[in-house]
Amino acid sequence: MGKIALAIHGGCGVMAKLGLTEAEWEAARVDLAHALRAGWAVLSSNGSALDAVEAAVVVMEDSPHFNAGYGAALNAAGDHELEASIMNGTTLEAGGITLARRIRNPIKAARRVMEKGEAVMMGGPAADDFARVEGLDIVENAYFTTEKRVKALAAMKAHAEEGTEAVASESEKHGTVGAVALDAAGHLAAATSTGGYNNKPVGRIGDTPIVGAGTYARDGVCAVSGTGKGEFFIRYAVGHEVASRIGYLNETVEQAASRVIHYDLKPHGIGAGLVAVGADGSIAAPYNTDGMFRGWVTSEGQFFVATHDQVFAL
């Protein structure tokens, strides 16, 4: 069995350290651990990287602690418009869902889009209809709503009225979940899911469903899943840029990922982060915000989760 590795993120827009109780922090860490174990169970039983990243993201979509699926951000109209994508590093096949309103687990629908092969991205009511026909769980839009997101929407609307959006906390703005994996056969995969940012315009599409921006995987190089202000991830083709620096400049995963987050995006003053895994099993998780929900399993099978600068071994 070859080397295997897994990394996940639950968004770089985490709450300030004093913004949640210790019990709430612990609950979020527990769900990060559940997501890691779900993905690792696949990899350690000789399963595919594609199955592993999907399994990890589904757990986070079902958790209220992250901005994806249940607990997703609300747009300006107070509704949820969900996005997700998944990419197979072996074939470069990918599938994306955007502007979905009723798909319980958007990452599952993205996987079905990829497997059907008739499109790379589907959006809006057609995406919801596609998921229904495929037999995926369909829910009312209100299913995704949590009190935390209602409060965040109100906070962002207040910031908008006062012209203070720039000083809003990262947790008030956005968040995303994602996973990257290397399987025993040497294949890489990435998956990302989000509700976008709080108070986003109705119909806004971010980087999450766009291959090469928020999600990218290529065997022999790396797999990347990003979180942050999606408009800039699109403009900089962040996922592809990290892979290009590794492939063309022979940089390490850590060098390439850190360069993009801490240098390329720095002039824009945006919150940004990502997780990446290389073909050699190396892992990077740079971010430029107060914190980023994240976790990883080394190729030796050591589990870690983190929120801010504190890392917890499991």
Q: Where in the sequence numbering do the catalytic residues fall?
A: 176
H-only helix segments in 138-235 = 147-162, 170-173, 230-235
Q: How far apart are CA 82 and CA 200, in angstroms?
A: 12
| SS3 call for 36 | helix
Strands, sheet with 293-297, edge to edge from the N-terminal-most edge strand: 121-123, 94-100, 82-88, 188-194, 177-182, 5-11, 293-297, 303-306, 311-313
Number of other CB atoms surrounding residue 264 within 10 Å? 16
Please enumerate in sequence order all residues whose Cβ is within 8 A of that of 167, keeping only pairs 6 or more positions apart, or say none: 159
Which strand (E) or helix (H) includes residue 59? helix 49-61
Beta-strand pair 82-88/188-194: antiparallel
Number of other CB atoms surrounding residue 43 within 10 Å? 26
Strands, sheet with 272-278, edge to edge from the N-terminal-most edge strand: 215-218, 222-228, 272-278, 283-284
Q: Determine the length of the chain.
A: 314
In sequence order, what DSSP letters do the residues of 250-307 get, joined into one string? ---HHHHHHHIIIIISGGGT--EEEEEEETTS-EE--B-SSB-EEEEE-TT--EEEES
User: Residue with structure tokens 């470069």?
Assistant: 92
Q: How far apart are CA 166 and CA 66, in angstroms?
A: 22
Q: How far apart are CA 313 and CA 294, in angstroms?
A: 12
